[in-house]
Structure 1
Amino acid sequence: MSRAIPGRRLPFWPLTAVLTLASVVSVVLSLAFGSERIPVGEVVTAVTDRLTGEAPGTWDIIVWELRLPRALMAVVVGAGLAVAGAGMQTLVRNPLADPFLLGISSGASVGATAAITTGFLGGFGIYAVSTGALLGAIGSALLVYLVATAQGGLTPLRLVLSGVVLSSGLSSVASFLVFLSGDPRAAQSVMFWMLGSVGGATWEKLWIPAFLVIVLAIGMLAIHRWLDALAAGSDTAAALGVNVAALRTILFIGLAVLVGVLVAVSGGIGFVGLIVPHAARLVVGARHRVLLPVAALGGGVFLLWVDVLARLAVRPQEIPLGVVTGAIGAPLFLLLMGRGQYKFGGER
């Protein structure tokens, strides 16, 4: 099991309190940034007027209807990807695992690309791309599950190999659909979606991913001892009385549904689910009881400020979030690793 050097871990409760406060402050501050700069005082007034039922002010539409759902969606997606990444790394016991390891992102790309390039699911209107992505994600997860179980069960090796192979195949299908379309605008839309954005967030789109993130995080915390045992190895978990096969199946289904929904509402935002769980292990250790809350809070704050930077860097255009997460996350994680020893699965 991965862990930071004993004695260098940060205390859990103070860190959780700081991250919670940082999340609230970050959401409020982020509402001030965009194509139109709004004073923080006006932001607070606009939010409090809505909450208290006062007459809406000048900035009400921009703050409440446009920026606040986007900020909350960034927090939800960042937290969900971090939790899913931690769960995936435990499921397959692989430090390179991320939420998209099982081909879910590639399957979603096929569904979204079909919706963009062919008009598939056009009857769903503005939800056509999200619906196509969700159907593709669920289909790819089901395919991985069937392939792995047909070969003998959801072992880490079968999951990794099945996911990687199917991911490559589905990515080629998405690329072929773009090639057939012959429309440069469609190709650009597909590329932007694949790299991720929360620009289309609305209050209606927010509650489903938020609900799933909360439910899965609470569920994983409820079985944190089983997850700790699974992270130590299937033999160790079985010796401790854990039903390894059932636990893997439940974890696989939960992660597949969560990642499918997150990809459907935000596209393929990479790197968050890979680096944030490792960073959380570096500062609080590998026990899931402390790892999951810190990873969720850290992932939410991280992606929120990534979204702010993506909006401001080349105004009035926006940079896809996947570009920014990779540019910031890679050197940040290398810096964290360079500050101390790190172990995962017994490997230093």
Structure 2
Amino acid sequence: MYFPSLESIATRQVITLRGDCSVHEGARAMARYGVRNVVVLSGDGAYRILGAADLVALKTDGTPFDTPLASLDLPRVPTLPPDADVLQGIAHMGEGVGCLCLTDERGTLVGIVSRTDLLSGIDPQLLTESQALWELMAGTRFLQVAAGDPVRHVFARMRAGGHDAALVLQGEEPAGILTRGDTVRLLAEDASLDEPVSGVMSTPLHTVPESFTIQEALAFAREHGHKRIVVRRRDGSLLGVVTQKYLLALFYNRWIGWFQAQNEELLHAQRALRAERDRLALVAGALAEGLVVTDPGGCIERINPAAAALLGVDAGDLVGRPLAQLVPGLSHCVQECPGGPHHPRCPSGPLELRRADASCIRVHLRCRPLMEAGRYAGAVVFLDRAGDGPQASP
């Protein structure tokens, strides 16, 4: 299964700040460039991240926004090489900060990948085709606040519950949503947090019905540029919110499940193949005539006791060694097999071989190619004793 490289989906123009920049400068940079986080260059060479959730936490804690970023305990961002693929990116991002830094062999920052980028690199068909959203919503958490609640109160609830957004209700009806983008804008402008959230929320609130499949919901989110999908029940009430983190976890878990199932099938096939090879080895060992099997390069893969006795050698010493070096009289037989490197015919008939003790022996041989998917995969050589026994070497 093919997954695109992180380099192909990454944002190349990374917004970075030095450690001596203030929190307020970080918030303003995020608002100016329309991003939800900025990379902070720390003195220890690590890449750290300042995100919208950090701004909310700092504000609710009362941390002055003129505080230098270097003095904060900001989380480190995982790093990967640009040629890592999307699946590796999902595995490394996990429950972390929501982005990855791409660094070259010298440790230079060459790009950044967000959850949005990772979702863009996933074929929606790999998620599911027919499963409806309502089947996936059990246990999902989302924050609902009243339209008249002050922003400060909403921020406190967002931080306490680990939410990055809040759905705003006017009575029982959904009226809007306070997103990370709204949060960044408010804090960058140093706006009053005592105003009702209804005055700063994003509207209108786009929702999808619970009958939507994941594919349909993901296509809707991409079309409208949404970071999360708000789902309604049939009666119009809110069922829940599907986040990018949730979709990535869903995809990763399903891919791992598929991989494990494929791996089990492969192991079963390998066990069956080993059993068949063991059975054929018993048959080959019981043959009265000699049997030599080579790989495509002419090295011996198997030799039965009858062949070893004819050639006057120990079978165990021959496996893996080139047939041409050990038994020159047989090497041309393998070369002349169809699909082999030289002649398109199978040799057969009598042949005089020199044994390991320098004596000569006449044998009848038959050589047959081994073909796999139309390609030459080796040869099988059958040997029969001919004549009255070994002859002295001249």
Q: Normalized against structure 2, the TM-score is what?
A: 0.22
Q: Where is the strand percentage greater, Structure 1 or Structure 2? A: 2
Which one has a bigger Cα radius of gyration?
2
Q: Where is the helix percentage greater, Structure 1 or Structure 2? A: 1
